[in-house]
Amino acid sequence: MPRAVADLRRRLRAADAVLLCTPEYAGALPGSFKNLLDWTVGGGETYRKPIAWIDASSRPQAAGAAGAHASLRAVLGYTGVDLVEAACRRISVPRGAIGNDGLIEEPDIREQIAQALSTLAGSAAQPSPTLVPTPIAEAVQGTDAAFFTALLDRDLSALEALLADDFVIVEVGTGSVHPRLAFLEAIRDGAVAFEAIETHPDETQIRHYGNIAVVIGQTTMSFVDAEGSAFRAGSRYTHIFGIDGGRWQLLSAQGTPIPDDDPQVATRGPARPD
């Protein structure tokens, strides 16, 4: 991923809310701004995050920036944002209202901008809506955490209880698919030994569909392969859980590598001196 994109996504992830401001160009979003938004699709950084927009135009408000408004709304529909409609504005800014210093002094225009900012800030201060009932979310997240603990401890008994009979895992590095037995054997035989697993609870999303729950999260793992080589890698993972007999079990797991600020991530080296 280009460094500028990684920085953009990091800033979006850290933000409490996002205000998008764009003019209209040739009846739609400017191409460069559309390209910036395209880089936010699929990353998950803006999922359920309060977002509003201000589209400015020198034309009257009824017609001004209508194209930018429509195309911006279409793009945001693909990112799962929490669009704060009350904070979205199409503001008419006559050219004469902009001073030589680039600032707007007209009170009416400034008031419209202030109202949008105040509404967005108020929305960001509200707790995010819970997508999953709390008891279910806590049970699923607890099972997810127990899986990582069992990996770190090489606790086969715990893993056998946590993994469904038809469990499969897609390997992060190669994309290979491993069934339950092969995965347990790899842990037992030390084909992979985890030395540290750092989870990022703030990045976790949980969705619930009847007897199925989906966890999307992020980890940074340090592990050693069977040849004694050490690795450290960050990944965003998807775990699918099913409930059977009142307990949640892991049905499948898949990870996707993600870049890390640490230059040593995903590099290979001796795990220990000879």
- The predicted model gives 204-215 an average pLDDT of 88
Give the pLDDT confidence score for residue 47 in this predicted structure. Answer: 76
Task: Indicate where the chain has its CATH 3.40.50.360 domain(s).
Answer: 3-125
Going by pLDDT thresholds of 50, 70 and 90, the confidence category of residue 108 is very high
Q: Which CATH architecture has domain 3-125?
A: 3-Layer(aba) Sandwich (3.40)
**Residue scoring higher pLDDT (129 or 29):** 29
* Other Cβ atoms within 10 Å of 269 Cβ, number: 9
Q: What does residue 175 show for φ and ψ, rounded to 5 degrees?
A: 80, 5
Whether pLDDT at 266 is above 60? no
CATH class of 134-270: alpha beta
**Residue scoring higher pLDDT (84 or 268):** 84
Going by pLDDT thresholds of 50, 70 and 90, the confidence category of residue 226 is low
Q: Cβ distance 37 to 5 under 8 Å?
A: no
Cα(253)–Cα(238) distance, integer angstroms: 6
Whether pLDDT at 270 is above 50? no
Locate tokens 């729950």: which residue? 213
Q: Cβ distance 249 to 162 under 8 Å?
A: yes
Task: Indicate where the chain has its CATH 3.10.450.50 domain(s).
Answer: 134-270
Give the pLDDT confidence score for residue 64 in this predicted structure. Answer: 52
Q: Cβ distance 167 to 250 under 8 Å?
A: yes
Query: 0.75 exceeded by the pTM?
Result: no
Select from 2, 9, 16 the least CA-distant residue to 218.
Answer: 9
Q: What is the 3-state secondary structure (H, E, C) of the chain?
A: CCHHHHHHHHHHHHCCCEEEEEECECCECCHHHHHHHHCCCCCCCCCCCEEEEEEEECCCCCCCCHHHHHHHHHHHCCCCCEECHHHCEEEECCHHHECCCCCECCHHHHHHHHHHHHHHHHHHHCCCCCCCCHHHHHHHHHHHHHHHHHHHHCCHHHHHHHEEEEEEEECCCCCCEEEHHHHHHHHHHCCEEEEEEEECHHHCEEEEECCEEEEEEEEEEEEEECCCEEEEEEEEEEEEEEEECCEEEEEEEEEEEECCCCCCCCCCEECCCC
